[in-house]
Chains A and B, each alone.
Chain A
Amino acid sequence: MTLKTVLLGTCSAMMLAGFSVAGASAETLTIATVNNGDMVRMQGLTSEFTKANPDIQVNWVTLEENVLRERVTTDIAANGGQYDIVTVGNYEVPIWAKQKWLLPLDGLGDKYDMDDLLPAIRGGLTVDGKLYAAPFYGESAMIMYRKDLFEKAGLKMPESPTWEFIGDAARKITDRKTGVNGICLRGKAGWGENMAFISALNNSFGGRWFDEKWKPQFDQPEWKQSLTFYASLMKDAGPSGASSNGFNENLTLFQQGKCGMWIDATVAASFVSDPKNSTVADKVGYAIFPTKEGVANHGNWLWSWNLAVPASSKKAASAQKFISWATSKEYTQLVASKQGWANVPPGTRTSLYKTEDYQKAAAFAAPTLAAMQAADITKPTVKPVPYTGGQFVTIPEFQALGTTIGQLFSAVIAGQSSVDDALAAAQATATRDMTRGGYIK
């Protein structure tokens, strides 16, 4: 009797205590997001929204970037309806919009200044003339460099640097004795890691992923030139173990004064110029993404984290209300008033870059805007291509393909493979995947 009583008692107690699912009183929005500074800040300010909209409550689900993609994809594909707002990149938005997984944002309200959105960013989120996601923050890529080291080496960063200059400068600045690497670039394998940089680099060398008939182009001279340049630069002037370095690792190296230059996402500028965490905060200069001599292409790196409403949400009207608030000019003002101008989400609105207070607080404002305006993801390459996207290709197969090829290229930096072998393997892999995917007839 004792065991039976204990079991029954425990079960009943648990049923009463825990199993009841919280009942909904006000309409509750569930928002899936990634963990970064701007998103954490927005979570902290959500009470301002709920105060103004007492009939709406907000629940946050914060996940690691890849887990978020996996979760949201499963939920949307299976029509799970668990999320009312999802945080998605500009890579996914056009693909998901075409699949009818996202609802068009036609209820953002009359006050929402749509024309203020940066054209390049807005263009990447628009399908058939309809906006499917509102940008929360955006970024391009640029050069961050140590002004003091440049001065010491007698170098002056040109207004529009070429790769040839960057290569020479990096080698000149490198001082292995003091642990200063001329340049830090991404080497960690992944479609959003090393392939983001290498794709933009290759764009600026005049290369492309595919020709008009979706034939992979890794056997073309541009890829060989760009990858050889990258591998040799990393060998001569890069940090040791560069094949494991992604955004965060290079950020740390730069903040610790171990990189003469770092070419990466513009959002990094706010980190490297933050005196609280960076030992070189007052020594950083900025310049636009380099080009190759004679090729007019700055890489066309453009990324934005955006808020969208999945088609499975049953609270689309409230969700759009929240998105309208979170991506508005008023939200920018709110962040500025509570946490200072340097902390407002960058890269989405033209008006921000016209604000004097922002320009004063963020030395990187002008170069960021210049980088974003130089990026065009609708025409990312010199030669014609059948796809859009700057540092990625907007097709569903790209995540897997990009990561596989990223591994091949990372092995080159690690000294485990040659440029020729890696390119040959990339060509074979891409040809196989594109044939299987039905792109190559």
Chain B
Amino acid sequence: MARKVTTGARIGWTIAAWVVALLIFFPILYALITSFKTEQEAIAGFSLIPSGTFENYITVEEQRDYFTPFMNSVILSVGSTILALIVALPAAWAMAFAPTKRTKDILMWMLSTKMMPSVAVLLPIFIIFRNLGLLDTRIGLTVMLMLINLPIVVWMLYTYFREIPGEILEAARMDGAGIWQEIVYVLAPMGVPGIASTLLLNVILAWNEAFWTIQLTTTNAAPLTAFIASFSSPQGLFWAKLSAASTMAIAPILILGWFSQKQLVRGLTFGAVK
């Protein structure tokens, strides 16, 4: 039987949810406000009312090329997501439907790689990239982003697949489906909500990745994270310009997240309630 929720509790929870949401969103909101301030206003102290200047956007556009890093961000995040899906889909299938006694260990090991500080492997990765001629290439960075996000993709897909009854796959097998057909025609369509939210999350993670994308690129493959980094200045004021550059960099992914939030939430809470 469902628990009865009083109006007071509902209002309380709603207010709490709004406060939490506002707290989380506030840095982005403040960056947006700051981008419409002058440099003097930006550093003067806390204020939510900008003078409304567009000068920072004009300066950012004049000083740096936005389109190339934007396209690089699109290519890297979408490319690494597709690559990750190609690798993770069969991996998650195998772990969910044909587990061995070491499956849990493998899953934990995969997750543990996320706990290692990236800088610890900077030099070896850099040298591998140099020797393979992958420095400042989109191919190299796509593979790198795929690898660093792969554990999360595998884990998420594994969690979704575990919710799918194995009997359905068995039935497909009895109808003569091979492994590939089983994954493509039975598993993938049933796991669409989970796969979609995994893809969206991976695109967001890849878009925001700011260590490897700065360390392994110079000009050809540098995405929007490098674009933002270029506006920090050791001498002279830069907060407003940096905020304008950040707003321009995060706007596309923010819009994508906004439009796909229903799908994202659905996928992220998939399997949470049985």
A118 and B133 CA atoms in complex are apart in Å by 41
Main SS at interface, chain B: helix
A59 and B79 CA atoms in complex are apart in Å by 25
Q: Are A79 and B130 in contact (CB under 8 A)?
A: yes
Q: Are B79 and A35 in contact (CB under 8 A)?
A: no
A1 and B185 CA atoms in complex are apart in Å by 8
In the complex where A35-B232, A62-B230, A64-B229 touch, is A249 in contact with B43 (Cβ < 8 A)? yes
A232 to B: closest C-beta gap in Å: 27
A75 and B71 CA atoms in complex are apart in Å by 25
Q: Are A35 and B78 in contact (CB under 8 A)?
A: no
Q: Are B214 and A248 in contact (CB under 8 A)?
A: no
Q: Are B40 and A277 in contact (CB under 8 A)?
A: yes
A368 and B35 CA atoms in complex are apart in Å by 34
Contacts of B127 in A (CB 8 A): 78
Q: Are B220 and A7 in contact (CB under 8 A)?
A: no
Q: Is A34 an interface residue (CB 8 A)?
A: yes
A184 to B: closest C-beta gap in Å: 14
- One digit per residue, 1 when the CB lies within 8 angstroms of any chain B CB and 0 when it does not, for chain A 252-294 equals 1001100000000101100100000100000000000000000
Q: Is B47 an interface residue (CB 8 A)?
A: no
Q: Are B222 and A252 in contact (CB under 8 A)?
A: no
A248 and B239 CA atoms in complex are apart in Å by 10
A182 to B: closest C-beta gap in Å: 21
Q: Is B39 an interface residue (CB 8 A)?
A: yes
Within A45-89, the residues touching B (CB, 8 Å) are 59-65, 67, 70-71, 74-75, 77-83
A36 and B142 CA atoms in complex are apart in Å by 31
> A80 contacts which of B135, B234, B235, B238 (Cβ < 8 Å)?
B135
Q: Are B78 and A14 in contact (CB under 8 A)?
A: yes
| One of A16-24, A200-208, A432-440 contacting the partner | A16-24
Q: Are B230 and A35 in contact (CB under 8 A)?
A: yes
Q: Is A32 an interface residue (CB 8 A)?
A: yes
In the complex where A3-B188, A21-B138, A63-B214 touch, is A35 in contact with B75 (Cβ < 8 A)? no
Within B32-49, the residues touching A (CB, 8 Å) are 39-40, 43-44
Q: Is B137 an interface residue (CB 8 A)?
A: yes
> B126 contacts which of A35, A80, A83 (Cβ < 8 Å)?
A80
Q: Are B126 and A61 in contact (CB under 8 A)?
A: no
Q: Are A21 and B220 in contact (CB under 8 A)?
A: yes
Q: Is A11 an interface residue (CB 8 A)?
A: yes
Q: Is B112 an interface residue (CB 8 A)?
A: no
In the complex where A35-B230, A36-B233, A64-B229 touch, is A11 in contact with B219 (Cβ < 8 A)? no
Q: Are A30 and B234 in contact (CB under 8 A)?
A: no
B234 to A: closest C-beta gap in Å: 4
Q: Is B168 an interface residue (CB 8 A)?
A: no
Q: Report the tally of A-B residue pairs with Cβ distances under 8 A.
A: 122
A310 to B: closest C-beta gap in Å: 12
Q: Which residue of A lies closest to B43 (CB)?
A: A252
B62 to A: closest C-beta gap in Å: 9
Contacts of A40 in B (CB 8 A): 63
Q: Is A154 an interface residue (CB 8 A)?
A: no
Contacts of B126 in A (CB 8 A): 74-75, 78, 80
Contacts of A265 in B (CB 8 A): 235
In the complex where A59-B219, A71-B215, A256-B40 touch, is A14 in contact with B75 (Cβ < 8 A)? yes
- One digit per residue, 1 when the CB lies within 8 angstroms of any chain A CB and 0 when it does not, for chain B 169-208 equals 0000000000000001000100000000000000000000
Q: Are B236 and A11 in contact (CB under 8 A)?
A: no
Q: Which residue of A lies closest to B79 (CB)?
A: A14
In the complex where A19-B138, A65-B234 touch, is A78 in contact with B218 (Cβ < 8 A)? no
B75 to A: closest C-beta gap in Å: 4
B1 to A: closest C-beta gap in Å: 42
Q: Are A35 and B82 in contact (CB under 8 A)?
A: no
Q: How many residues of B contact A (CB 8 A)?
A: 44
Q: Is A247 an interface residue (CB 8 A)?
A: yes
In the complex where A10-B82, A252-B44 touch, is A18 in contact with B75 (Cβ < 8 A)? yes
Q: Which residue of B lies closest to A18 (CB)?
A: B75
Q: Are A61 and B75 in contact (CB under 8 A)?
A: no
Q: Are A22 and B220 in contact (CB under 8 A)?
A: yes
Q: Are B123 and A248 in contact (CB under 8 A)?
A: no
Q: Is B231 an interface residue (CB 8 A)?
A: yes
Q: Which residue of A lies closest to B75 (CB)?
A: A18
Q: Is B139 an interface residue (CB 8 A)?
A: yes
Q: Is A4 an interface residue (CB 8 A)?
A: yes
Q: Is A37 an interface residue (CB 8 A)?
A: yes
In the complex where A18-B71, A252-B40 touch, is A247 in contact with B234 (Cβ < 8 A)? yes
Q: Is B114 an interface residue (CB 8 A)?
A: no
Contacts of B139 in A (CB 8 A): 19, 21
Q: Are A74 and B237 in contact (CB under 8 A)?
A: no
Q: Are A4 and B184 in contact (CB under 8 A)?
A: yes
B191 to A: closest C-beta gap in Å: 11
Q: Is A251 an interface residue (CB 8 A)?
A: yes
Contacts of B43 in A (CB 8 A): 248-249, 252
Contacts of B233 in A (CB 8 A): 34-36, 248
Q: Which residue of B lies closest to A264 (CB)?
A: B235
Q: Which residue of A lies closest to B183 (CB)?
A: A3
Contacts of B75 in A (CB 8 A): 14, 17-19
Q: Is B64 an interface residue (CB 8 A)?
A: yes
Q: Find the residue from B40, B123, B139, B235 having the highest chain A CB count within 10 A.
A: B235
Contacts of B214 in A (CB 8 A): 63, 67, 71
A92 to B: closest C-beta gap in Å: 14
Q: Is B98 an interface residue (CB 8 A)?
A: no
Within B231-263, the residues touching A (CB, 8 Å) are 231-238
Chain A contact residues, CB within 8 Å of chain B: 1, 3-4, 7, 10-11, 14, 17-19, 21-22, 30, 32, 34-37, 40, 43, 59-65, 67, 70-71, 74-75, 77-83, 192, 247-249, 251-252, 255-256, 265, 267-268, 271, 277
Closest 7 CB pairs between A and B? A62-B230, A64-B232, A18-B75, A59-B219, A65-B234, A35-B233, A252-B43
A4-B184, A21-B138, A36-B236 are known; give 6 further A-B pairs, CB within 8 A. Answer: A7-B86, A14-B79, A19-B75, A62-B231, A64-B232, A267-B235
